[in-house]
């Protein structure tokens, strides 16, 4: 079975894109290898995002904030899908991606901006994680070899 590379993009690559990477990489279908990056990456992964990613089986050592420039280099893994998960990254000029990856925007509010108790903060992250999981589940059920940008964008309206 072919494994598809998915790059999740966000501005700081510390929460939403990290969760996307973890969910894709640990998806029960085995169809995906997740990656994540940001336009202006932070210095660390949000601790709540890291905790949730590790809980679903992601190797903690792989969770790092990195620039999206890394995936535009000649020796970078070729992406099949590029998904922006925050409004800022969706509107920015992205680097050239080798190959012709299918692109889409699955926007989620930034859970790291939630104010309140630790439980309220974690609940916001779980909400984003569940939304991403639902879209990745829909993607996994599709005939991926026939997928195009239009059908990937439709996942946003179904989820």
pLDDT single digits (tens) 68-106: 989 888 888 999 999 989 866 555 566 666 677 888 889
Higher pLDDT, 11 or 136: 136
Statement: residue 150 has pLDDT above 60 = no
Four-residue CA torsion sign, 28, 135, 101, 19:
negative
Higher pLDDT, 140 or 98: 140
Q: What is the pLDDT of residues 18-45, one digit of tens each?
A: 999 999 999 999 999 999 999 889 899 9
What domains appear along the chain, each with residue ranges and CATH number?
4-152 (3.40.50.2300)
Beta-sheet pairing, 32-38 with 4-10: parallel
Largest CA distance in the chain: 45
Separation CA 27–CA 39 (nearest Å): 25
pTM: 0.88
CA 45 to chain centre: 13
- Are 63 and 45 in contact, with CB atoms under 8 Å apart? yes
């Amino acid at each position: 079975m072919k494994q598809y590379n998915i790059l999740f993009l966000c501005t700081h690559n510390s929460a939403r894109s990290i969760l996307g990477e973890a969910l894709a990489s640990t998806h029960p279908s085995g169809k995906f290898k997740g990656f994540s990056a940001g336009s202006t990456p932070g210095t660390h992964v949000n601790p709540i995002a890291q905790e949730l990613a590790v809980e679903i089986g992601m190797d903690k050592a792989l969770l790092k904030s990195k620039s999206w420039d890394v995936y535009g280099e000649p020796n970078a893994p070729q992406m099949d899908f590029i998904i922006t998960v925050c409004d800022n990254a969706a509107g920015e000029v992205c680097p050239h991606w080798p190959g012709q990856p299918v692109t889409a925007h699955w926007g989620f509010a930034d859970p790291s901006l939630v104010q309140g108790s630790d439980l309220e903060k974690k609940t916001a992250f779980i909400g984003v994680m569940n939304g991403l999981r639902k879209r990745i589940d829909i993607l996994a059920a599709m005939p991926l070899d026939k997928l195009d940008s239009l059908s990937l964008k439709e996942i946003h309206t179904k989820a």
